[in-house]
Structure 1
Amino acid sequence: METGKNQLKNMSLFALTWPIFIEIFLHMLMGNADTLMLSQYSDNSVAAVGVANQILYLIIVMFGFVATGTVILVAQYLGAEKEADAGSVSIVSLFANLIFGIILSIVLLVFTTPILKMMDIPEELMAEASSYLKIVGGFAFVQALIMTASSILRSYGYTKDAMYITIGMNILNVIGNYVFIFGPFGIPILGVEGVAISTTVSRLIGFIVILIVLVKRAPNALPIRNIVRPLQHFKDLLKIGIPSAGEHLSYNGSQMVITIFIASLGTEDLTTRVYAQNIMMFIFLFAMAISQGTQIMIGHMIGAGKISEAYDRCLKSLNIAIVISLGAAIVFSCFSKPLFSIFTDNPSIISLGSVLILITIILEPGRSINLVVINSLRAAGDVKFPVYIGILSMWGVSVTLAYLLGITFGLGLVGIWIAFCADEWLRGILMLFRWRSRIWVDKAFVKVSA
């Protein structure tokens, strides 16, 4: 059987990235399926799930610190032809995220109401948001396992398998949503609660399938009886993962605060933000897929000591990401009103949402720089710098400007979107300077064998 190292050795960026693109697209589609199908049920239900998901996104970021470390370490070890160490990292990361996931799931179950009250959620949304958060959050550990297992599979080069599994999860989720929202054949209509059940069950089945495929495709990826240096690998996962998660944690934390600002504007603005972000996800997924494919390739290159190739790969990927995301933003802006009409017939939401998508044309190139360059820096082992800059910019620029422009100056969501643009561009420019400086060259966690 072909090892993960050989599987990825001759793959182009396109060959590696297009399955990742489809996988991310389908993950987003799963969330949008919930939103779209619930929009036929109630706009308030959409807002309730939107707030609950904002909290769940923060929890997913917490799981991401292990998954991120896994991608980088496995890629570097495979590039350095140290397959035993790559397998040990995989099994250690799965076990670590299982424990971490169970702890956070318990926290969400026990503190559901206090967390939602902290978000200043409107009273009419509390019951549905609480129901969704308890069910999906209570099984959040399943998502932790999915993220880790998918990261391992992709690092070995099997991006198509991860894509096919995600397709299956989406099909199961949509079927479950239909059953519980529309109640065919006399089945009870459960609304938000049903959507939560459908999401959870599809994820559980998805993880089981990923595990089976991983064992079949890369039998050396999970060496349960022959773990090499587990403590050292765990330490390395923390060294990479915690700073990387810090950047994501800072972003999602700032978004939670901004969600509180938006909640003070009213349920309609909150719903508009949910719809706008759902549409925007399909714009930046191009850059996201390219950044993840680039991260895997650069990790292998760094492990193999191919520094110049890694440097050029990042810049080439960046140019592609900027062009594609800018083009996508323009196209989506031209069709923004019909797109919003899919979700709602409220003219105020459609009008305001269309303005937000127009502003997104300015925002997306900056976001593309962040996605590609930050993932490249992480792949090279330079994980702390993005965190420091991220915290300063997200809170000093994004949150501060969002409050000043959106609340103090009364520009509402338009002012908040302008704040997002300023944050993305400032961080993007600083990250690009960092990559061009080549400071990251000596920061690899895995050294090439003599």
Structure 2
Amino acid sequence: MKQNHALKLSFQLAWPISLQQVLMTMLGMIDVMMVGHLGNSAVAAVGLGNRVQFVILVIFAGLGTALSILSSQYWGAKNVNGIRSAIVLASTTGAALLLPLIIALFLFAESIIAWGTNDAEVIALGADYIRLTIPALIFSYLLMVFEASLRSVGQVKTPLVISAIAVIANILMNWVFIFGAGPVPAMGVAGAAIATSVARAFHLAMLVGYLIWRRHLVLPRVESFAIVHSLSAWRRYLTISLPMMLNFGIWSSGTFVYAILYGRVSTEALAVASMLAPVEGILISLFFGMASASAIMVGHQLGANNHQQAWNLAKNFALFCPIVAVLVGGLLALNIDLVLMPYNNLDTSTIDQARQIIILIAAFSWLKITNMTLSMGVLRTGGQNKYCLLSDTFGMWCIGIPMTVIAVYLDWGFFYIYLMVYTEEVTKAVLFVRKLIQKTWMQTLAA
């Protein structure tokens, strides 16, 4: 594969994935923006509720990422039945693990939100938001499974088109349920949650309907379900997916700990973090497609035992993404007023703090993008899940969180507290680059 052809193919894969990820990230941002007129408490409640959902979905993304890795290598090995069987395993595992979490969310919503704030209004609003978005969790996981399988076979535009339609529907439903329209009363934060769940159901119905209509090759057949009786298949899938779930769970729960620490500073600080988490998420989502394209293309080469080509691709992705990310961060820094325009109804002090935090995001997000590319797009594709797990755990729980706790305890101010979060990224970047250079990650996993 020539370098110019590889670059062209990576962009063909990346831009629909990135745009879709941006659209999905914007949904959380839109929820926060559209309740902004209700004040800091509403913004903080939706932000915490979204963070809880984020933690759970990221944990289950370990199952989806394992599916994507196996499917990419199966596709490289021309094994379509392997892809269908992997989808069955991912769906079955997700259903078994998601049920107890849903029950716990429903029963203990107030307690979960109370971890992040002492504000009674935020707790009440946040608990309502969590309970009403439980259906969205179920639909989102199933979407994750089918979209991962489509991307693995190089079909990235269809999920993008369907997601765009779903986002538009979500915005319209947000407007109706948050502000009220006709016979529908204004429901505020609860309305945002209802709109999210209804939109996810609509999204899933469109995607599954498309797969059935096209009789798509990734859609499991009756015979595909025989895989549940294969111990070797379960062993292969769980060996990849469970460490990823643990890895993603350690990381996502750490992000919730950061949110808890922000809430201990003040409701205003929590509101600022809630406002800007989607902004940083959109910035990172722009490069999610490149990381996914890296995982797909490197996975194809590993599946075909072309290790030298896999190394060339990995090296190019590892160099390209951070350089472009620095440029994108500069554009963000130059457009702070535009980013904060939807939040003009909030207090001046809240806006001033948000302005300072955007500077940090613009300056350091390239580190997160580097780590995402190396971890998701290269190392895990070669089966280095344990290494990524240990690196993520050490960077977050031994460096980032302790440094942030110290900053909160010493009352350094929210700017410096937020700055300490990036010590985690510096640590992980050193560990991931070291592993990349060693080349020991290049392994063929699919049988």
Same fold (TM over 0.5): yes
Alignment of 1:39-58 (within 5 A): 39-58=36-55
User: 2: CA distance between counterparts of 1:152 and 1:284?
Assistant: 22
CA contact (8 A) 1:366 1:424 kept: yes
User: 1: CA distance between counterparts of 2:222 and 2:203?
Assistant: 21
Alpha-carbon deviations, 1:391-422, whole Å to 9, x = none? 111011110111112x1332232122222221
Deviation at residue 319 of structure 1 after TM alignment: 2.3
Report the secondary structure of 1:251's partner residue. helix
Structure 1 partner of 2:120: 123
Structure 1 partner of 2:187: 190
CA contact (8 A) 1:100 1:141 kept: no
Question: AA paired with 2:385?
Answer: V
Give the structure-1-normalised TM-score.
0.92
Structure 1 partner of 2:15: 18
Structure 2 partner of 1:408: 409
Asked whether 1:83 is paired with 2:80, we answer yes
Moved more, 276-285 or 149-158: 276-285
Structure 2 partner of 1:4: none
Structure 2 partner of 1:225: 223
Structure 2 partner of 1:434: 435
Structure 1 partner of 2:421: 420
User: 1: CA distance between counterparts of 2:329 and 2:311?
Assistant: 27
CA contact (8 A) 1:75 1:155 kept: yes
Question: AA paired with 2:222?
Answer: I
Alpha-carbon deviations, 1:307-355, whole Å to 9, x = none? 1111121221222211222111111112213322322342212221121
User: 2: CA distance between counterparts of 1:48 and 1:333?
Assistant: 27
User: 2: CA distance between counterparts of 1:315 and 1:10?
Assistant: 12
Deviation at residue 372 of structure 1 after TM alignment: 0.5
Report the secondary structure of 2:165's partner residue. helix
Asked whether 1:380 is paired with 2:391, we answer no
Asked whether 1:212 is paired with 2:214, we answer no
Could you list the runs of 5+ residues in structure 2 that have no partner in the other structure?
Answer: none
Structure 2 partner of 1:279: 279
Asked whether 1:331 is paired with 2:359, we answer no
Deviation at residue 128 of structure 1 after TM alignment: 1.0
User: 2: CA distance between counterparts of 1:305 and 1:261?
Assistant: 46
Structure 2 partner of 1:315: 315
Alpha-carbon deviations, 1:341-388, whole Å to 9, x = none? 322342212221121121223322211221111011111111110100
User: 1: CA distance between counterparts of 2:54 and 2:308?
Assistant: 36
Q: Percent identity?
A: 21
Give the structure-2-normalised TM-score.
0.93
2:94 is matched with which residue: 97, 109, 112?
97
Deviation at residue 438 of structure 1 after TM alignment: 0.9
CA contact (8 A) 2:74 2:82 kept: yes
Structure 2 partner of 1:399: 401
User: 1: CA distance between counterparts of 2:108 and 2:390?
Assistant: 30
Report the secondary structure of 2:84's partner residue. helix
User: 2: CA distance between counterparts of 1:48 and 1:10?
Assistant: 42
User: 2: CA distance between counterparts of 1:424 and 1:224?
Assistant: 45
CA RMSD of superposed structures (Å): 2.0
Deviation at residue 206 of structure 1 after TM alignment: 1.0
Question: AA paired with 1:88?
Answer: S
Alpha-carbon deviations, 1:54-97, whole Å to 9, x = none? 11111112221211110000111111122211221112212322
User: 1: CA distance between counterparts of 2:6 and 2:78?
Assistant: 11
2:34 is matched with which residue: 24, 32, 37?
37
Question: AA paired with 2:290?
Answer: I
Deviation at residue 432 of structure 1 after TM alignment: 1.2
Moved more, 291-300 or 333-342: 333-342
Question: AA paired with 2:335?
Answer: F
Moved more, 146-155 or 95-104: 95-104
1:217–1:356 CA distance, 2 compared to 1 (3 A): farther
User: 1: CA distance between counterparts of 2:201 and 2:100?
Assistant: 18
User: 1: CA distance between counterparts of 2:7 and 2:361?
Assistant: 36
Structure 1 partner of 2:160: 163
Deviation at residue 220 of structure 1 after TM alignment: 4.9
User: 2: CA distance between counterparts of 1:10 and 1:418?
Assistant: 34
Structure 1 partner of 2:366: 365
User: 1: CA distance between counterparts of 2:8 and 2:323?
Assistant: 22
Could you list the runs of 5+ residues in structure 1 that have no partner in the other structure?
Answer: 1-7
Moved more, 45-54 or 233-242: 233-242
User: 2: CA distance between counterparts of 1:211 and 1:94?
Assistant: 14
1:281–1:220 CA distance, 2 compared to 1 (3 A): closer
Deviation at residue 234 of structure 1 after TM alignment: 2.8
